[in-house]
Structure 1
């Protein structure tokens, strides 16, 4: 199968170069690589000019096309006619050598699969289950012979009965699903949500959908919105053999106030894309979980060294939460 790699980047030339070097080591190389650069300087362009990568096309976009969803749509519009699979990667990832080979294998295995996501192995916290040890269900999540140590926010939710019974990356009616990912079992897991750091789709999908321009700039949760809408055309899976590392480069990220506000507003938007008319119980649980998360961020002001970051994040969440009373986001149906 022919496949294209689209990398949308913003002010991360060094991280991008590291990613492209890992692409060069792939056992199956992309038929084309499209770099869509929204940077407001020339550093990324210079990096590309001074390094030779096969099948690579570089595009520097203007203000009108800047922002993650706009850049992705820009890239899609320039994919070659004969391409069958379109792969997206965050610019701060590094691939394992068989990454693309496994992506294509998974699409070939099942024609009903429309989207494939990978696993960030450097963030994978799953451990083999010790049969001689008893695990507290509020502190550990178990799956396929592995256990996942829950973080503080999930332990709070477990004790308060605010945890989803669905597997990770599957959205319950109150939206807040598990974020544990999956153990490296070698299996594929059917999911609702793919993560933007690593997601690939059949090109035929883009005859019907594009990325929503509701998600401006940094575009928090735009990947969730798109993968939910993709479910109308097939299955999404996370393949634990599709492996990479994700390093969360701080360059190009919004300030924490904007981020906190997006957590609430964009989170509400994605929730209502999946569940336009949630039950009263689901609405209560959605708000209750955000209350727990806000409490933890306020607690971080006194329990961590990043006090300013935690405070501005918390203020953004409060502003975003209150804004939902007077100015709810309008769902964009025709995207």
Structure 2
């Protein structure tokens, strides 16, 4: 299934993308090169929405570092057509999928493995530590508990559809009617960490979000697209706090304690990574998270 319209919203500072698409023969393609004032993920998403043709029913957002499976749009549209109460659909990055089928007769430590539908997911260090400390969510992946820190394991390739709170920006699609009500928040202008989570949460006011494991692609993440690690670490705390409060405006004391406790654990792990991993990146990330933590005491973000 081929899209009725493809919009390229180019925020790059050179002409390589311009040359590529102006000389291409892709059908139904419209290319836009935005200026500095319109550059940035949130602004470019909203710019693209404003250019969508009237007769379009579903708007799909895809990052520029993804490669789609041939039947991506076929399964995507099928999910929307069969589920009228669904407002948003996300896909699965098959090259990043770490789920494995359970082996018969083998036992799995629940603190080291997460189980779902006959599959197991090997937990990383962060989640193993949280499991031992009792700071793990009981909800499935991409669902936000009242202390915000949910699972990020994704879903096994079962062919099933899973209801979620959060869709991932690399592969998320919404009914066009949704944009008569909401747009991407200007709070996240710039790099915009977690802008996809913020939008997904607000979309829940108009229908369900689901991840369809038949909607598949590969994601070849380019770290060059991120800001420096100090800014990134700071955004993890501040933007994470913002999204948490969009979903839960008045969390309980227990939920607040868990939110800060988990971030404390993650900061300690990042400082520990200075010894074990990329020293400069780990150190600047940890410092950014620490500054972000303290900034929330004196200057919390205003929810828009």
TM-score in same-fold range (> 0.5)? yes
Equivalent residue number for residue 203 of structure 1:
176
Q: Distance in 2 between matches of 1:30 and 1:85?
A: 10
Matched, 1:311 2:265: no
Report matched runs for 1:22-171 at 5 Å.
28-171=1-144
Matched, 1:272 2:239: no
- TM-superposed deviation, 1:53: 1.1
Q: Distance in 2 between matches of 1:232 and 1:51?
A: 40
Equivalent residue number for residue 221 of structure 1:
194
Residues 248-280 of structure 1, C-alpha deviations (whole Å, 9 max, x = no match): 012322111111010000000000000000000
Query: Could you say what secondary structure the match of 1:88 adopts?
Result: strand
Matched, 1:239 2:212: yes
Matched, 1:292 2:265: yes
Return the match for 2:151 from 172, 178, 194. 178
How does the TM-score come out when normalised to structure 1? Answer: 0.90
Q: Distance in 2 between matches of 1:99 and 1:203?
A: 18
- TM-superposed deviation, 1:56: 0.7
Matched, 1:325 2:297: yes
Residues 68-102 of structure 1, C-alpha deviations (whole Å, 9 max, x = no match): 11100000001000000000001101111100010
Q: Distance in 1 between matches of 2:40 and 2:13?
A: 12
Aligned length: 304
How does the TM-score come out when normalised to structure 2? Answer: 0.99
Contact 2:22 2:31 in 1 (8 A): no
Q: Distance in 2 between matches of 1:253 and 1:149?
A: 27
Q: Distance in 1 between matches of 2:53 and 2:77?
A: 17
Contact 2:166 2:197 in 1 (8 A): yes
Q: Distance in 1 between matches of 2:31 and 2:191?
A: 20
- TM-superposed deviation, 1:192: 0.2
Matched, 1:260 2:267: no
- TM-superposed deviation, 1:50: 2.8
> What 5-or-longer segments of structure 1 have no aligned partner?
1-27
- TM-superposed deviation, 1:39: 1.2
Residues 194-224 of structure 1, C-alpha deviations (whole Å, 9 max, x = no match): 0000000000000000000100211100000
Contact 2:10 2:33 in 1 (8 A): yes
- TM-superposed deviation, 1:47: 1.5
Q: Which moved more, 1:252-261 or 1:148-157?
A: 252-261
Query: Could you say what secondary structure the match of 1:142 adopts?
Result: strand
Contact 2:234 2:291 in 1 (8 A): yes
Q: Which 4+ residue blocks in structure 1 deviate beyond 4 angstroms?
A: none
Equivalent residue number for residue 301 of structure 1:
274
Q: Distance in 1 between matches of 2:19 and 2:237?
A: 38
- TM-superposed deviation, 1:163: 0.2
